Structure 1
Amino acid sequence: LSPPSLQSTSSDLLGLNVRLINGTGSCSGRVEVYYKGQWGTVCDDYWDIKDADVVCKQIGCGRAVYVHRNANFGRGTGPILLDDVHCFGGEKSITECRHNEFGIHWCNHGQDAGVTCSGEESFLF
């Protein structure tokens, strides 16, 4: 097996390979990514504000205002697709950030990552 390509596609740039589930609206929730025909979760190992910020910007929801860990928005049911995500903050897609290979992880759905973005919470500022 060759390693998966990490190059962006047009759907990456449009934010179509990431979604937020079980939040209070479209700009908060459990982070899920789409890879090889299925949605899966992101493990919260090393999950921080820079990682969350890339997700928020990617889906057009502004900046990250809160990072959630430990399946705050409920446990996912599909595969865990990303673990040990490390973004610098300027990436256009979470898949451009450093991470283990897709599907390689050392966690369970009790560690699903989430985010709250400013796009939904802008009235607080």
Structure 2
Amino acid sequence: MVHDCQHNEAVGVVCFSVHLVGGSTPREGRIVVTLGTTEGSVCDDSWDNDDARVVCRMLGYSGTAEAVSSAHFGEGSGQIWMDDVNCRGSETSLAKCSFAGFGRHGCSHSEDAGVICH
């Protein structure tokens, strides 16, 4: 086998998914991001309906979406994965939106973001 790669050019895959908790239906709740095997929250700084639309699309809902903030569906615990999320609304994954970087935040769980998918 011939190649021109160095070990520092190796490629890896990180699993990223979302689900909702704390809502009264499966279409609403606090966003829980799973990165690898660790679950965490999304901070509500800059959180809006475009961001919520991306989450709802990831979950298979095609209607409108409403962003909710201030831990409307309860506070998470542990890791906060995302802050300053800024989606255009057309992305296929929250990970493709602009944000501060995984694990970089200036938040507490009282600022956990949620969605209502219509």
- The TM-score normalised by the length of structure 2 is 0.84
3-state secondary structure, aligned to 2:65 = strand
3-state secondary structure, aligned to 1:53 = helix
Structure 1 Cα separation of the partners of residues 26 and 59 of structure 2: 9
Structure 1 Cα separation of the partners of residues 59 and 73 of structure 2: 18
Structure 2 Cα separation of the partners of residues 39 and 105 of structure 1: 15
Give the fraction of aligned pairs with identical amino acids, expressed as a percent. Answer: 40
* Unpaired segments ≥5 residues, structure 2: 1-10
Q: Deviations over 1:27-85 (max 9, x none)?
A: 10001111131110000000000000000011012234321100000000120000000
Structure 1 Cα separation of the partners of residues 84 and 53 of structure 2: 16
1:58-97 to structure 2, matched below 5 A, reads 58-97=58-97
Structure with the largest fraction of helix? 1
1:24-43 to structure 2, matched below 5 A, reads 24-43=24-43
- The TM-score normalised by the length of structure 1 is 0.79
* Unpaired segments ≥5 residues, structure 1: 119-125
Match of 1:53 in 2: 53
What is the RMSD of the two structures over their aligned residues, measured on CA atoms? Answer: 1.8
Partner amino acid, structure 1, of 2:26: S
